[in-house]
Amino acid sequence: MAVFEVRQGTSPVILGFPHTGTDVPPVIWDRLNDNGRLLADTDWHIHELYDGLLADATTVRATFHRYVIDANRDPQGASLYPGQNTTGLIPETDFDGKSIWKPGAAPTGADTRERLRDFHAPYHAALAAEIERVKSIHGIAVLYDCHSIRSHIPFLFEGTLPDFNIGTDMGQTCAPEIEQAALDVTTAASGYTGILNGRFKGGWTTRFYGRPETGVHAIQMELAQSTHLAAEALPFAYHPGKAEQLRVHLKDILTRIERIALGLASQKNNNR
């Protein structure tokens, strides 16, 4: 199977989708238990939610499920949030801390090496190639990494997650203007809540690629699934009404980021 999908555009903005895929090879599917086969930790419908919001944006989407291997985790296995509950490169549990593998079928070190080679590395090679292509056009590229998660997950965080969760690793992964644009829109969005660098500060993808000094900026948006799903439970159905209200604000964010990126590119060219 193709492990990623790319749609090329000429905007300086690239949308990354590491967690919307639901493909699981049969040999791996056979090792998942009934709970794992629910694939409950998918970023449900996120690629559909963002579709068409920025007409000329490039998109890079992993088609494999995060239970195969998590495309947003450090390939060396380092934790994103040391000391806090989280899931790893190949998750042992779901987001509720419940096992997803049959007894004796948990992935081994050999499995990890194979899946890094066959899934994680090809996805990131495609993403890196698109970042370089877009940067060659504009002298700048902005990776906007698209995510969602249930708003109530006691295993991972207390209380209710805000609707918009912006992650920039405490301002390190993008220019302040880009971070501020996302914050301005989410703060002004009536009926929604938001936070900057709260529980989610940007995953490995954002932290790895976000190097503003090189012209590559990265920002993560983690959406509470209550903002666009009928319910945060099976069958995790898309709610068109909720989604259309949310898409107005997401479009505003992306449009502002694109405008800022083009402005930064113009400044860079003028200073040569």
Residues with Cβ < 8 Å from 262, sequence gap 6 or more? 12, 138
Residue 12 identity (one-letter amino acid): P
Predicted local confidence at residue 81, as pLDDT: 83
Antiparallel, parallel or unpaired: β 58-62 and 13-17? parallel
Structural domains of the chain ordered from first start:
4-271 (3.40.630.40)
- Dump pLDDT digits (tens) for 123-178: 999 999 999 999 999 999 999 999 999 999 999 999 999 999 999 999 999 999 99
Predicted local confidence at residue 272, as pLDDT: 63
Would you mind telling me the total number of residues written for the chain in this entry? 272
- DSSP characters for 44-112? TTHHHHHTTSSTT-EEEEE-B-TTT--TTS-TT---SSTTS----SS-SB-TTS-B-B-TT-S--HHHH
- Dump pLDDT digits (tens) for 42-74: 999 999 999 999 999 999 999 999 999 999 999
- Specify whether the backbone of 10 is left (phi greater than 0), alpha (psi in -120 to 50) or beta: alpha
Residues with Cβ < 8 Å from 233, sequence gap 6 or more? none
pLDDT for residue 93 is more than 80? yes
Closest-CA residue to 132 (of 5, 232, 12, 4) = 12
Closest-CA residue to 16 (of 246, 199, 173) = 173
Q: Mean pLDDT score of the chain, rounded to an integer? A: 96
Q: Which phi and psi (to 5°) does residue 82 adopt?
A: -55, 135
Tokens standing for residue 154: 């006691």
Per-residue pLDDT band at 80 (split at 50, 70, 90): confident
Q: Which pTM value belongs to this model?
A: 0.96
Residues with Cβ < 8 Å from 159, sequence gap 6 or more? none
